[in-house]
Chain A
Amino acid sequence: MVENRPFVTFLSHLVVLVGVIIIAFPVWMTFVAATHDQDTMLRQPVPIWPGPHLFENISTVLTEGYKSRPGSVPLIVTLTNSMVMALGVAIGKIIISIISAFAIVYFRFPLRMIFFWAIFVTLMLPVEVRIVPTYGVVASLGMLDSYSGLIIPLIASATATFLFRQFFLSVPDELAEAARVDGASPMRFFWDILLPMSRTSIAALFVIQFIYGWNQYLWPLLITTKESFYTVVMTVSRQANVVDAVPAWNLLMAMALLAMLPPVLVVAFMQRQFVRGLVETEK
């Protein structure tokens, strides 16, 4: 602060506070809706303060799903699938990008620049753009309705490779030199020196990629037809679009609450890594 202007400070607090309230309001109402019974949530205006039915609603959706509908999946299944997918995407991306960045930075070999550019251009093609043919490829490989189909097509990532490449380029040459003089093999250098030094980059990337994997919508929607492979985000969206005579908003919002809880917790508890990852992966 440059000078003391109580009014401007007050105004700043006011603006930010109003912004925070507006931004938090949808999340708050989701929580409130998940704490009431079905009848309460059908009368307008619906309450804006929590009621006593939170645990009842949560346990209903976890064990039965959206119960009034036949064939609805217990949320415990979809949450597990989302967790497998998010962890698979995050860990898979980190592994394949860190080793390919290592190869591109620390070795000279024919085709190196071709590989580099091949990875680079993937930045330009989000899944949404080439959705129909990608679906065709996954179908012809027999990967529909499987965890490998949910995970593998999403783990090739130029951003992660660039992040590691950037970081490796900043590592002092003396370290690799010393390792070579001491007769360490490249993989030994990678395991014992490079990998421990990359810990903070890995953590930052993990947070971003976990959220990315968890929040995927279109991809699981296309390649899963069996309920046992549904993810939680697509399930919530799907149930929200079924027209019901008497909608159970309390259950739907309990589902939405559970669908956003894991990534919100990750952001809340790893905020520093999250901000770092966000700012760095876009460079």
Chain B
Amino acid sequence: MEKRVTFNERWLPYLLVAPQIVITVVFFFWPTGQAIFQSVITEDAFGGNTKFVWFDNFTHLLNDSSYYESVRITVVFSFLVATVGLAISLLLAVMADRIIRGASAYKSILVWPYAVAPAVAGVLFGFLFNPSVGTVSWMLKGVGIDFNYVTNGNQALILVVIVAIWSQVSYNFLFFLAGLQSIPKSLIEAAAIDGAGPGRRFWDIAFPLLSPTGFFLLVINVNYAFFGTFGVIASLTQGGPGQATNILVYKVYNDGFRGQDLGGSSAQSVILMVIVILLTIIQFKYIERRVHY
């Protein structure tokens, strides 16, 4: 889409885009180029003696079992965050959509988690599930479950999944609710006149019409689980115990800053960039379709 009416100025448009372009080049393109460059070289510990090593950093990475472990954890984590998170948000949105009285009060509370930083959410849940004082871990002890995310890897993974879902629930809920409210009332009424009950109307009408929203949210949630959950991991488990919650984006940071393995960390960055680019392309392909829906 283009404007018919435009202004004729020689230098003004360059001046106007300059701040954004300068910042983009300095803080996006330059570092990205560096990441790609560093992924094909090795440096000794003092930053001197740079050596070009082709794809050694990548082959090294792909022969490293801890990298595969991190990939596996990331896939399990993202799958759980996306599917369970979307299911809960959809349930809440469908129920909230039926409610007339008090709907805005419910909605006001359901949008809160969006405002809480994932890192702070991690601290909140770390308190609730703290093995010695946490209210929830105390309740779990009452039913015979010994919950200790500090030492038990599976429980740590479950906890970071819960926190990640909690942080994202507002976002999913609002999009599902908007999707439900855009379904023409006449469709629902026609089905009701034909004798379809609420359950039937949901599965046969609302659910198919929501599928574009659902697919969009799926991509957003996978993206979120891959990259947006850094704060949750960092403030709750730091990738541990052992490797149990060491998702890819945390591993990049951990290997690069704590392990000082620049080549390995950059190779991981490059792989993650490819993943983000793929996700973004899928997202935009889909959005083009949604316009015609």
Contact = CB atoms under 8 A, between A and B. Distances in A.
A134 B257 CA distance: 12
B280 A24 contact: no
Main secondary structure of the interface of B (DSSP, over half): helix
Given A2-B188, A26-B121, A156-B20, A237 B235 contact: yes
Contacts of A17: 106
Contact of B115 (A30, A124, A263): A263
B83 to A, nearest CB: 17
Given A1-B100, A12-B95, A133 B32 contact: yes
B19 A96 contact: yes
A11 to B, nearest CB: 8
A234 interface: yes
B234 interface: yes
B88 A19 contact: yes
B260 to A, nearest CB: 10
Q: Give the residue among B24, B96, B185 with the most A Cβ atoms within 10 A.
A: B24
Contacts of A167: none
A267 B109 CA distance: 10
B133 A41 contact: yes
Nearest to A274: B111
Contact of B123 (A138, A177, A240): A240
Interface residues of A, number: 110
Nearest to A30: B124
B160 to A, nearest CB: 14
A213 B174 CA distance: 21
Given A46-B133, A129-B272, A282-B220, A24 B3 contact: no
A218 B253 contact: yes
Given A237-B235, A240-B126, A278-B174, A218 B230 contact: yes
Contacts of A126: 227, 276
Contacts of B98: 1, 8-9, 12
A193 interface: no
Contacts of A131: 252-253, 256-257, 269
Contact of A240 (B21, B35, B110, B235): B235
Given A173-B5, A260-B120, A279-B174, A119 B169 contact: no
B24 A122 contact: yes
Contacts of A12: 95-96, 98-99
B26 interface: yes
A278 B172 CA distance: 11
Contacts of A1: 98, 100
A2 B192 contact: yes
Interface string A115-135: 100110111111011111111
A275 B23 CA distance: 28
User: Looking at B91, B96, B123, B134, which has the most chain A CB atoms within 10 Å of its CB?
Assistant: B123
Nearest to B253: A131
A268 B234 contact: no
Please classify the interface of chain A as helix (H, G, I), strand (E, B), loop, or mixed, using the class held by over half of its residues: helix
B171 to A, nearest CB: 7
B117 interface: yes
B120 A256 contact: yes
Interface in B1-24: 1, 3-7, 9, 12-14, 16-17, 19-21, 23-24
Contact of A26 (B32, B108, B125): B125
B127 A249 contact: yes
A252 interface: yes
Contacts of A41: 133
Interface string A21-32: 001111101100
B122 A153 contact: no
A29 B231 contact: no
A106 B28 contact: no
Interface in A239-283: 240-241, 249, 252-253, 256, 259-260, 263-264, 266-268, 271, 274-275, 278-279, 282-283
B115 A264 contact: yes
Contacts of B23: 96, 152-153, 155-156
Interface in B29-76: 29-32, 34-35, 38
A84 interface: no
Interface string A79-118: 0000000000000000111011011111111001001001
Given A23-B112, A161-B20, 19 more contacts: A9-B98, A26-B125, A30-B127, A46-B138, A103-B17, A125-B32, A126-B276, A128-B227, A129-B252, A137-B31, A168-B3, A176-B5, A236-B119, A237-B235, A252-B127, A256-B123, A263-B116, A271-B111, A283-B287
Top 6 closest A-B pairs, CB basis? Answer: A215-B117, A103-B16, A133-B34, A237-B235, A133-B31, A107-B13
